[in-house]
Amino acid sequence: MDQFKLDLIAHLSEFVTENRFKQFKRVLAERTRHISVILEDIYQSQNASAVIRTCDCAGIQDVHIVEQWNEFEINRDVTLGSNQWLNLKYYNQSIDNIGDAVRELKNNGYRIVATSPHADGKTPESFDIDSGRAAIMFGSEVKGLSDRAMELADEFIRIPMVGFTESYNISVSAAIVLYQLRGRLNRSDLTWRISEEERADLLLNWLRISIKMSEKIERHFRQDYDKTF
C-alpha cells in the first residue's frame, strides 16, 4: 500500500476526535462491494433519499444512479448526510444510460439482478449470494424497471406479497431486499468486505470531507513530506 497515503491518513486523523476516527474504522470494517445497487429513474426525492440512507445502513458502498427520463434528487432531511459516505455514480449522458451502467458493472464482475413482482425470480432468502457479486436493480415508483433493464438482467429477485396491491414502495422494497441479503452475507463464509486498499481510500476521503480546510492541511503536509523524502 502507498506509504504516503498511510502517513497522510495518520496526519489527518489528528484533526478529528478519537471517537470519530474509531467510528470511521468501525464502519469501514462492515462495508461491502459484494452487493451494489442500481437505481433507474427514481424521481421522488424522498424515495431516492430513503434508498441512499438504507444503503449506508446496510453497508452497501456503491450506488449507480441512472437518469434516463427523471432527475435523481437528494433530500438531505431524509438522507441525514448518508450520501456523503457512499460512492454515487451517475449515468445520464447517452440514450441508453441503463445499458451504460450494466456494461460497466458487468465489466467489474457483477451479475445484474432485476427486482420485479412479475418475474419468476428468487426471494431474498433463496437468492444465490455464493455465485459472485450482484448489482440489484430497482425501478421507478410507478412503472418499475424499464423493459430495457429487464432485458439486460441476468437474474431476478422478488418479494412475495399476499395483499391486493402488487408492489411495495421502492424505498420499502430496497430496505427489505438489502436487509435480507446483508444478513445472509454476515452469516456466510464469503470474502465480502472491501479490501484494505479500498478501506484506506475511503478513510482518506471521509477524513477530507470531515475536516475544515483539509486541502490546505494536505498541501502543507505534502510539501513537508517531499522535503523529507
Residue 97 shares a structural domain with residue 159:
yes
* Domain of residue 130, CATH code: 3.40.1280.10
Residue 142 shares a structural domain with residue 174:
yes
Q: Would you state the pLDDT for residue 165?
A: 82
Report H helices in the chain.
3-12, 18-28, 45-58, 76-79, 97-107, 147-152, 170-187, 196-210, 214-228
Question: From CA 169, how far away is CA 92, in angstroms rounded?
Answer: 24
Nearest to 61 by CA among 23, 24, 34: 34
Residue 85 shares a structural domain with residue 11:
no
pLDDT surpasses 80 at 1: no
Nearest to 140 by CA among 179, 177, 98, 182: 98
Rounded to two decimals, the pTM is 0.94
Number of domains into which the chain is organized: 2
Question: From CA 159, how far away is CA 138, in angstroms rounded?
Answer: 12
pLDDT surpasses 70 at 34: yes
Q: Would you state the pLDDT for residue 41?
A: 94
Residue 19 shares a structural domain with residue 40:
no
User: pLDDT band at residue 229, thresholds of 50, 70 and 90?
Assistant: low
Taking only the tens place, the pLDDT of each residue in 97-129 is 999 999 999 999 999 999 988 767 899 999 999
Q: Judge contact between 97 and 67, C-beta under 8 A.
A: yes
SS3 227: helix
Give me the domain span that covers residue 167: 33-192
Residue 3 shares a structural domain with residue 83:
no
Q: What mean pLDDT do residues 40-63 have? A: 94
Q: What mean pLDDT do residues 196-204 have? A: 97
Q: What mean pLDDT do residues 175-194 have? A: 97
Q: Would you state the pLDDT for residue 68?
A: 93
User: pLDDT band at residue 192, thresholds of 50, 70 and 90?
Assistant: very high
Q: Would you state the pLDDT for residue 191?
A: 97
Residue 25 shares a structural domain with residue 117:
no
Average pLDDT, the chain: 94
Q: Concatenate the DSSP letters of all residues of 120-151 into one string.
A: --B-TTTS--TTS-EEEEE-BTTTBS-HHHHH
Residue 113 shares a structural domain with residue 146:
yes
Residue 140 shares a structural domain with residue 185:
yes
Q: What is the β-pairing status of strands 134-138 and 155-157?
A: unpaired
Residue 183 shares a structural domain with residue 207:
no
Q: Would you state the pLDDT for residue 13?
A: 97
Q: Judge contact between 131 and 124, C-beta under 8 A.
A: no
pLDDT surpasses 70 at 61: yes
User: pLDDT band at residue 157, thresholds of 50, 70 and 90?
Assistant: very high
188 vs 167, more confident:
188
Taking only the tens place, the pLDDT of each residue in 9-28 is 999 999 999 999 999 999 99
